[in-house]
Amino acid sequence: MALAEEEEVTKSIRRHDMANKESVLRRMAAKLEKLDARLAELRSGLESKGEQVRGRYSEEQAKLKAERESLERQMSTMKEAGAEAWKDLRSGLEKGYKELNKAMDGAWKHLRKEKDVEPPAAGGGA
């Protein structure tokens, strides 16, 4: 393969990777919006509970919020990353999302045991 042809193939691969990166970022932003809605519903569900129940879940709620903010920072890093580095960042971001979604499900499960509180629909797959 000629050098110019090889460079064109490399550029094409990078363009594809960057387009894929933008698609991944858009999908992750939509997933984070759904998590934000679930966090808001969790806060709302806690507001209807007594002070004792709210106290028990305040630490868990703070942890969920911190994990969500961590995902936002990872997305920002990913936006700035070059074509080569973003693939590694993507797997970490997706793993973090899955863990946060699982933690959110656990929080709702425990809150439902407190009283009849209906959880929102799960955030979906990654």
Tally of structural domains, the chain: 1
123 assigned to some structural domain: no
Measure the CA–CA gap between 114 and 49, rounded to whole angstroms. 9
What is the pLDDT averaged over residues 71-92? Answer: 79
65 assigned to some structural domain: yes
What is the pLDDT averaged over residues 33-60? Answer: 82
The mean-pLDDT minimum among 12-26, 65-79, 88-102, 110-124 falls in: 110-124
Q: Specify whether the CB–CB gap between 34 and 59 falls below 8 A.
A: no
124 assigned to some structural domain: no
Which residue range(s) make up the domain with 48?
3-114
What is the pLDDT averaged over residues 41-50? Answer: 79
pLDDT at 53 over 60: yes
49 assigned to some structural domain: yes
CA distance readout (Å), 50 to 93, 100, 110: 35, 25, 15
Write out the two tokens for 84: 């080569």
10 assigned to some structural domain: yes
Measure the CA–CA gap between 69 and 15, rounded to whole angstroms. 29
76 assigned to some structural domain: yes
Q: Specify whether the CB–CB gap between 115 and 46 falls below 8 A.
A: no
Q: Give the per-residue pLDDT at 56.
A: 78
Q: Give the per-residue pLDDT at 125.
A: 47
* CA 112 distance to own-chain centroid: 23
119 assigned to some structural domain: no
Question: Cα angle vertex 16, ends 21, 20, to 5°?
Answer: 25
What is the pLDDT averaged over residues 3-8? Answer: 58
What is the pLDDT averaged over residues 49-53? Answer: 77
Task: Note the pLDDT tens digit of each residue in 85-124.
Answer: 777 777 788 888 888 888 888 888 877 777 544 455 555 5
120 assigned to some structural domain: no
